[in-house]
């Protein structure tokens, strides 16, 4: 729904909305058994919410499209990810809490390995550990560029962030990653004339980085991706009229939350830490985005049993969260990560919305096939979630007389 | 669907389509029992239609959005209510059956209270009763303006309708309501140069009204909102190729029907009156919009039992209506009005489409949860109803070769 229209309909209320995102929740049956991870998991508490609530499966981006974590989150936050596109550079900056200024150009770099001819032999430099990455960033951080300030910070494993600051820099630059081994890194190429200066600035950085990394092993070169400036988007608290906080432990998710204007609460990584954080701040906000990461990682690793176990763990802790008495609870994932494919999938994502005022359907358990017959439909746009959550929190005025 | 495309596909036929709108039909279970009003009601005749037809729930405006009656009706008439927005002034005029001419500018006024400095102290003048409003309108109705004719009529409580008639008047004027107390009313400001004359005309009215209301208490000033002219929309009979009549007893619904170009038949208020009107004109039209109001009023009053009873009454009369042998019957509501919330709701609305040619689904009763698994889907856009009704009346040509 158009933000301008929605913004005018949103009204204040003292209801509290909890958006619980189980990352990578959606799954698939395996060859061994006809249950998805969520269907197989024993989840009495989620089943109870599903029974009392209204269910369905959301489609994160568009039918058949497998989303990255950024677009998938934007979508459940109500932002059409096809319209609101953000570069990986900006996402990385937000993710590690880098204080990005207006006009800064951020980029997500990889340390990689090149051979004596300069051809890439490993795009991830053998997935060097984060400590090594930090050491290398330290080595590069004193590089001086003729036309811009320059910052570099480690992100995770072989990934680092670079930020270029100066007059007239733009993000419209092609990636230098050739995407395949056996090829030379690409030169930083401007995608619009305005970005020519930026291309030169980046080329100078790459040249100097290459020089400094000579002799390192396995990480002796950089690949630069996702050049981007911070976008000027409508902010979540203003569009939805919510004082909004994010409980998320991982940089990427903090980043997206910050990008749309949520306050990111400091929290530990474990589920218990996150619940403690939620409790501590419960009275201070209207809306909580609560992110649970590890379910996705288990899916990515193709570990069906671990994914089941982590879903069950979340279910066990659910009553503790519900004791806070949220008025509206949404439980969903940002996308599917079926262990069967060890990867993000395009498959719609189980979703339940619970409130005193939802119209409950006949779904009595939280699982993919049960949700297909739910009142939200088997493939509804993820961007519907926020308006529906607001409605259930009695936070939207009537449209028209 | 785009009206221009549809218009070119529509073909004549002698089939008759009946659109039966049970106002506020959709409901919710209560704390006492797990049935909505429609689910609880004994409706053997509706159930038979549902069993022989295809069912679903329509979404009037957009997910999570609670519609007013105007937008909700536009939507089931096939007009996207986000695109076809009509000013409050025009709706008020239509609602009280004021005969609005092309070029008239209508506005919804409030009587309000101002202090000795002219600052608003109560935007609704203590919600004066309608009788008082009528008395005050009477006092203002002899105001003469230099450049336009002027009409005023009471609407309800502190609300009144003004209509300005003359050459070159436009609705693009900002509201004079400052929205908060403690502020001066705003001057009527033109939002486009063409409307400067209208701004002057309205300013003159306000000045003279202020003079006449001096000494009144609590209503000693006016605030003017929703300036608008009757919109120039594609007309229902032309878009859908239907000679269309409305059987509706209440002003608001006659108003919307008239707005889209239906002929409004004179009728009494009771269901029997309406059925008699339908019978009388059955041979004269292709399409009948048949509106049943009181189900909504029971919902608004939070009267679950009465809403159930009124649904049952409609069901009892249904065979009499069906004896007319319509080729296509659509039964739905314009929006939900669950007694549980004593208000319009955002919840999708039960819908059944019956014809010899519909593809029946497995739904065997007319109720919210039964409809969720119907062939029309649990949340389809209400604007789909008209094309589907036309198709079932064999009134749409093949698209493409």
Q: Cα–Cα distance between A269 and A252 in angstroms, integer? A: 13
Nearest Cβ partner for B368 among A1, A359, A396: A359
Quote the minimal CA–CA distance from B66 to chain A in Å. Answer: 5
B184-235 confidence digits (pLDDT tens): 999 999 999 999 999 999 999 999 999 999 999 999 999 999 999 999 899 9
**Which CB contacts under 8 angstroms, 24+ apart, belong to B277-284?**
B277/B247, B278/B247, B278/B321, B278/B324, B279/B324, B281/B245, B281/B247, B282/B16, B282/B324, B284/B243, B284/B245
For B214, residues 6+ apart whose C-beta sits below 8 A from its C-beta are B220
pLDDT score of B320 more than 90 = yes
CB-based burial, B143-171: b 16+ in 10 Å, e otherwise: bebeebebbbbbbebbbbbbbbbbeebbb
Quote the minimal CA–CA distance from B31 to chain A in Å. Answer: 9
User: Is B341 in Cβ contact with A399 (below 8 Å)?
Assistant: no
Most B CBs within 10 Å, among A4, A75, A348, A359, to test the B interface = A359
Nearest Cβ partner for A359 among B28, B69, B72: B28
For A99, residues 6+ apart whose C-beta sits below 8 A from its C-beta are none
A53-106 confidence digits (pLDDT tens): 999 999 999 999 999 889 999 999 999 999 999 888 998 898 788 989 989 999
User: Is A1 in Cβ contact with B62 (below 8 Å)?
Assistant: yes
Q: What fold is seen in the domain B90-229?
A: Alpha-Beta Plaits (3.30.70)
Q: Cα–Cα distance between A256 and B220 in angstroms, integer? A: 52
| Amino acid B31: pLDDT | 92
Closest chain B residue to A356 measured between Cα atoms?
B31
Q: Which residues of B touch A387 (CB under 8 A)?
A: 62-65
Q: Which of residues 51-90 of A touch B (CB under 8 A)?
A: 56
Task: For CA atoms A364, A365, A369, A375, give the dihedral sign.
Answer: positive
For A344, residues 6+ apart whose C-beta sits below 8 A from its C-beta are A24, A66, A67, A68, A300, A335, A336, A337
Asked if residue A38 lies in contact with residue A57, where contact means CB atoms within 8 angstroms, the answer is no
User: Is B68 in Cβ contact with A400 (below 8 Å)?
Assistant: yes
Residue A93: CA atoms inside 13 Å, Cβ hemisphere, count? 27
Q: Which residues of A touch B61 (CB under 8 A)?
A: 399
- Cα–Cα nearest to A72, from A267, A304, A337: A337
Q: What is the mean pLDDT of residues B377-382?
A: 98
Please give the structure tokens belonging to residue B38: 């429609």
Q: Cα–Cα distance between A283 and B90 in angstroms, integer? A: 44
User: Is A5 in Cβ contact with B82 (below 8 Å)?
Assistant: yes
Asked if residue B196 lies in contact with residue B255, where contact means CB atoms within 8 angstroms, the answer is no
Nearest Cβ partner for B67 among A56, A375, A398: A398
CA distances from B316 to B305, B322, B326 (A): 16, 11, 17
pLDDT score of B95 more than 80 = no
Q: Cα–Cα distance between A78 and A256 in angstroms, integer? A: 12
Nearest Cβ partner for B378 among A5, A9, A376: A376
Nearest Cβ partner for B65 among A9, A359, A360: A9
Quote the minimal CA–CA distance from A362 to chain B in Å. Answer: 7
Asked if residue A39 lies in contact with residue A367, where contact means CB atoms within 8 angstroms, the answer is yes
Q: What is the CA radius of gyration of chain B?
A: 23
Q: Which residues of A touch B72 (CB under 8 A)?
A: 400
How many beta-carbon pairs below 8 A join chains A and B?
A: 95
In this complex, is the C-beta atom of A333 within 8 Å of any C-beta atom belonging to chain B?
no
Q: What is the mean pLDDT of residues B306-316?
A: 98
Nearest Cβ partner for B372 among A361, A392, A398: A361
Nearest Cβ partner for A400 among B28, B67, B368: B67
Q: In chain B, which segments carry CATH 3.40.720.10? A: 3-85+233-392
Whose tokens are 């042998």? That residue is: B325
| Amino acid A282: pLDDT | 98
Q: Cα–Cα distance between A102 and B113 in angstroms, integer? A: 47
Quote the minimal CA–CA distance from A7 to chain B in Å. Answer: 12
Q: Reduce the DSSP state of residue A28 to 3 states and report it.
A: coil
Angle between helices B44-52 and B304-322 (to 10 degrees): 60
pLDDT score of A387 more than 90 = yes
Preceding amide of B218 cis, omega within 30: yes
Find the length of chain B.
401
| Segment of B137-141, B177-181, B250-254 carrying the highest mean pLDDT | B137-141
Quote the minimal CA–CA distance from B113 to chain A in Å. Answer: 24
User: Is B344 in Cβ contact with A399 (below 8 Å)?
Assistant: no
User: Is B377 in Cβ contact with A374 (below 8 Å)?
Assistant: no
Q: Which residues of A touch B36 (CB under 8 A)?
A: 359
CA distances from A201 to A172, A188, B253 (A): 13, 9, 65
Asked if residue A246 lies in contact with residue A254, where contact means CB atoms within 8 angstroms, the answer is yes
The CATH architecture annotation of domain A3-85+233-392 reads: 3-Layer(aba) Sandwich (3.40)
Nearest Cβ partner for A360 among B29, B61, B69: B29
Q: What is the mean pLDDT of residues B60-83?
A: 96
**Which CATH number describes the domain made up of A90-228?**
3.30.70
User: Is B344 in Cβ contact with A400 (below 8 Å)?
Assistant: no
Q: What is the mean pLDDT of residues B7-11?
A: 95
Q: Which of residues 352-381 of A touch B (CB under 8 A)?
A: 357, 359-362, 373-377, 380
Q: B371: buried, middle or exposed (CB in 10 Å: 19+, 13-18, 0-12)? A: buried
CA distances from B135 to A246, A335, B41 (A): 55, 62, 44
A296-332 confidence digits (pLDDT tens): 999 999 999 999 999 999 999 999 999 999 999 999 9
pTM: 0.88
B241-279 confidence digits (pLDDT tens): 999 999 998 888 988 999 999 999 999 989 999 999 999
Closest chain B residue to A382 measured between Cα atoms?
B63
**Could you give the percent of chain A with pLDDT greater than 70?**
100
B30-39 confidence digits (pLDDT tens): 999 899 999 9
**Could you give the percent of chain B with pLDDT greater than 70?**
100
User: Is B378 in Cβ contact with A375 (below 8 Å)?
Assistant: yes
Q: A247: buried, middle or exposed (CB in 10 Å: 19+, 13-18, 0-12)? A: buried
| Amino acid B14: pLDDT | 97
| Amino acid B276: pLDDT | 98
CA distances from B317 to A396, B18, B205, B220 (A): 37, 15, 50, 50
Asked if residue B82 lies in contact with residue B146, where contact means CB atoms within 8 angstroms, the answer is no
User: Is B379 in Cβ contact with A380 (below 8 Å)?
Assistant: yes
User: Is A388 in Cβ contact with B64 (below 8 Å)?
Assistant: yes
Nearest Cβ partner for A384 among B63, B369, B372: B63
Q: Cα–Cα distance between A373 and A369 in angstroms, integer? A: 7
Q: In chain A, which segments carry CATH 3.30.70? A: 90-228
Q: Cα–Cα distance between A309 and A22 in angstroms, integer? A: 13
Q: Which residues of B touch A56 (CB under 8 A)?
A: 378
Q: What is the mean pLDDT of residues B144-168?
A: 95
Q: Which residues of A touch B62 (CB under 8 A)?
A: 1, 387
Strand-pairing partners, residue A287, are A17, A244
The ipTM is 0.87
Residue A69 phi, psi dihedral angles, 5° rounding: -65, -35
What is the average pLDDT score of chain B?
95
pLDDT score of A200 more than 90 = yes
Nearest Cβ partner for B88 among A5, A374, A401: A401
Q: What is the mean pLDDT of residues A340-348?
A: 97
- Of the pLDDT bands very low, low, confident and very high (cuts 50, 70, 90), residue B327 is very high
| Amino acid A96: pLDDT | 85
Q: How far is CA B65 from the centre of its chain?
A: 15
Q: What is the CA radius of gyration of chain A?
A: 22
pLDDT score of A401 more than 80 = no
DSSP letter for B126, please: G
B226-242 confidence digits (pLDDT tens): 999 999 899 999 999 99
Q: Cα–Cα distance between B230 and B164 in angstroms, integer? A: 12
């Amino acid at each position: 729904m158009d933000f301008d229209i929605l913004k005018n309909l949103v009204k204040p209320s003292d209801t509290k909305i909890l958006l619980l995102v189980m990352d990578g929740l959606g799954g698939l049956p395996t060859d061994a058994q006809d249950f998805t991870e969520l269907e197989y998991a024993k989840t009495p508490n989620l089943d109870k919410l599903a029974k009392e609530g209204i269910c369905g499966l959301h489609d994160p981006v568009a039918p058949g499209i497998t989303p990255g974590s950024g677009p998938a989150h934007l979508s459940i936050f109500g932002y059409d990810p096809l319209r609101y596109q953000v570069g990986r550079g900006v996402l990385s900056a937000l993710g590690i809490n880098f204080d990005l200024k207006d006009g800064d150009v951020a980029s997500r770099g990889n340390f990689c390995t090149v051979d004596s001819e300069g051809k890439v032999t490993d795009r991830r430099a053998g997935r060097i550990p984060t400590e090594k990455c930090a050491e290398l960033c330290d080595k590069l951080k004193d590089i001086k560029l003729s036309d811009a300030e320059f910052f570099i910070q480690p992100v995770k494993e072989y990934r680092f962030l670079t930020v270029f600051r100066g007059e007239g820099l733009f993000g419209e630059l092609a990636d230098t990653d050739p995407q395949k081994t056996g090829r030379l890194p690409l030169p930083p190429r401007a995608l619009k004339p305005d970005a020519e200066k930026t291309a030169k600035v980046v080329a100078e950085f790459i040249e100097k980085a290459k020089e400094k990394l000579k002799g390192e092993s396995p990480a002796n070169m950089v690949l630069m991706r996702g050049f981007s400036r911070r976008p000027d988007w409508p902010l979540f608290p203003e569009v939805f009229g919510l004082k909004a906080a994010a409980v998320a432990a991982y940089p990427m998710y903090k980043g997206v939350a910050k990008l749309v204007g949520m306050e990111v609460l400091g929290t530990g990584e474990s589920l218990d830490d996150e619940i403690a954080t939620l409790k501590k701040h419960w009275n201070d906000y209207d809306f909580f985005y609560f992110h649970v990461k590890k379910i996705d990682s288990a899916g990515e690793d193709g570990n069906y049993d671990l994914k089941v176990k982590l879903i069950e763990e979340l279910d066990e802790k659910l009553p503790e969260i519900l004791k806070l008495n949220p008025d509206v609870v949404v439980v969903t994932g940002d996308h599917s990560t079926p262990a069967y494919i060890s990867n993000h999938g395009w498959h719609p994502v189980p979703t339940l919305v619970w409130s005193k005022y939802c119209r409950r359907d006949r779904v009595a358990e939280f699982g993919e096939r049960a949700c297909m017959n739910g009142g939200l439909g088997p493939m509804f746009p993820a961007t519907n979630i926020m308006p529906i959550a607001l409605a259930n929190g009695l936070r939207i005025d009537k449209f028209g007389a």
